[in-house]
């Protein structure tokens, strides 16, 4: 290994680490706060649950920050080397531009392998874990997620029904002023409201259900035909609220492993063609995103050399523009109704970076 390889490689690796940290703070904390805010402010969840939530969310950011950080690092390193005439010195010594950039391609290939592992194994597990945390906490201690005056809406009934809970106060093992709403998640008009002067909460660990024993209860059901059924009870049998793990439900494609996606496509006969395309596109997206680091290596080196400025802000601006354009184009894949169209759109940014990079490399050789 040449001294130039160690010099450039160490600069790029160190720059990538710093860039990932900076981008993680800038890009992730906003989204992180957006997701944590309902836990901290609305539900006032325990600190331990919030910390577990943060640990589960952070790995998702690596899907974007690793390639984006690598792109920023290469642009900054080669921009600085160009402005200090180091590139010229290496080329006068007989090194070609491609040979000079070889450490960048090696690092890009290695980071693409790391990204592939993250996208296939880490990100789906992290997303599934985030959805699981609230259910685990509710199963262990339902009182911790039911705060007076705060609506809790993280439960699901049969089908797509949405269930919401509200309590007015707590008194020992009882909650005062219990309110329960069951709202239709589809086109149905039927909805249910339950109120009780006080209620006792317990968890049936075997059936994973929240059992609510009601006193002085009022039941109101709005039927699809517009009629309303009402009932009163001094004491009511336990109201059962499902706490089953979301892993037992149909998950989003982003929270499923590749094997689970393929099994869902092959085994679920009720899936529409559009849904199957979206599921298979999620697998393709993981592979295409993983190749972003290697693709960025082609375009970042000549762009960094072309900047020829002493200020590092230009490299950051270029990296933000390129990275934003890359990820925005991949989002267009959701608009395609066929596997071929979605696949072509997902791989298009990688192909564009490689072709444009080869063109820019050829131009930079003769400068």
Identify the top-confidence range among 13-22, 131-140, 182-191, 251-260: 13-22
pLDDT above 80: residue 152: no
Local structure of residue 179 (DSSP, 8 states): E
Local structure of residue 206 (DSSP, 8 states): T
Q: Mean pLDDT throughout 33-46?
A: 58
* Cα–Cα distance for residue pair 26/319, rounded to 1 Å: 14
Closest listed residue to residue 63, CA positions, set 349, 323, 341: 323
Q: Which residue do the tokens 């934003």 mark?
A: 324
Supply 241's token pair. Answer: 């609220």
Strand runs labelled E in the chain: 152-156, 162-171, 174-183, 191-204, 209-222, 228-242
Is the distance from CB of 307 to CB of 75 less than 8 angstroms? yes
Containing H/E element for 17? helix 3-23
* Cα–Cα distance for residue pair 60/57, rounded to 1 Å: 6
* Cα–Cα distance for residue pair 66/48, rounded to 1 Å: 28
pLDDT at 206: 61
pLDDT at 29: 67
> Virtual CA dihedral for 338, 339, 341, 344, nearest 10 degrees?
180
* Cα–Cα distance for residue pair 70/108, rounded to 1 Å: 8
Supply 152's token pair. Answer: 């809790």
Model confidence pLDDT, tens digit, residues 97-149:
888 889 999 999 999 999 999 999 888 888 777 667 666 665 666 655 567 77
Model confidence pLDDT, tens digit, residues 156-209:
555 557 778 888 888 777 888 988 888 876 556 678 899 999 888 777 666 567
């Amino acid at each position: 290994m040449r001294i130039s390889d160690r010099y450039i490689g160490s600069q790029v690796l160190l720059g990538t680490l710093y860039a990932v940290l900076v981008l993680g703070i800038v890009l992730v904390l906003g989204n992180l706060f957006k997701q944590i805010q309902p836990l901290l402010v609305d539900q006032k969840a325990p600190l331990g649950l919030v910390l577990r939530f943060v640990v589960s969310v952070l790995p998702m950011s690596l899907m974007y920050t690793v390639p984006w950080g690598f792109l920023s690092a290469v642009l900054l390193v080669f921009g600085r080397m160009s402005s200090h005439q180091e590139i010229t010195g290496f080329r006068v010594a007989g090194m070609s531009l491609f040979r000079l950039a070889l450490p960048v391609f090696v690092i890009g290939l290695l980071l693409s392998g790391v990204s592939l592992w993250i996208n296939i194994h880490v990100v789906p597990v992290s997303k599934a874990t985030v959805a699981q945390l609230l259910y685990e906490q509710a199963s262990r201690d339902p009182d911790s997620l039911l705060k007076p005056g705060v609506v809790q809406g993280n439960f699901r009934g049969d089908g797509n029904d949405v269930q919401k809970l509200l309590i007015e106060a707590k008194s020992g093992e009882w909650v005062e002023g219990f309110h329960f709403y069951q709202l239709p998640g589809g086109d149905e008009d039927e909805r249910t409201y339950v109120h009780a002067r006080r209620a006792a909460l317990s968890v049936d660990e075997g059936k994973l259900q929240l059992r609510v024993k009601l006193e002085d209860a009022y039941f109101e059901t709005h039927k699809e035909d517009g009629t309303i059924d009402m009932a009163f009870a001094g004491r009511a049998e336990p109201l059962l609220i499902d706490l089953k793990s979301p892993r037992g439900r149909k998950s989003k494609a982003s929270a499923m492993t590749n094997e689970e996606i393929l099994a869902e496509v092959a085994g679920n006969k009720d899936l529409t063609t559009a849904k199957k395309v979206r599921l298979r596109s999620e697998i393709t997206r993981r592979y295409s995103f993983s190749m972003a680091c290697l693709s960025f290596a082609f375009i970042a080196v000549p762009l960094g050399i072309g900047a020829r400025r002493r200020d590092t802000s230009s490299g950051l601006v270029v990296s933000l523009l390129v990275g934003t354009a890359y990820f925005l184009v991949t989002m267009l894949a959701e608009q395609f109704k066929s596997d071929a169209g979605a696949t072509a759109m997902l791989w298009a940014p990688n192909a564009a970076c490689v072709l444009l990079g080869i063109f820019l490399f050829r131009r930079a050789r003769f400068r």
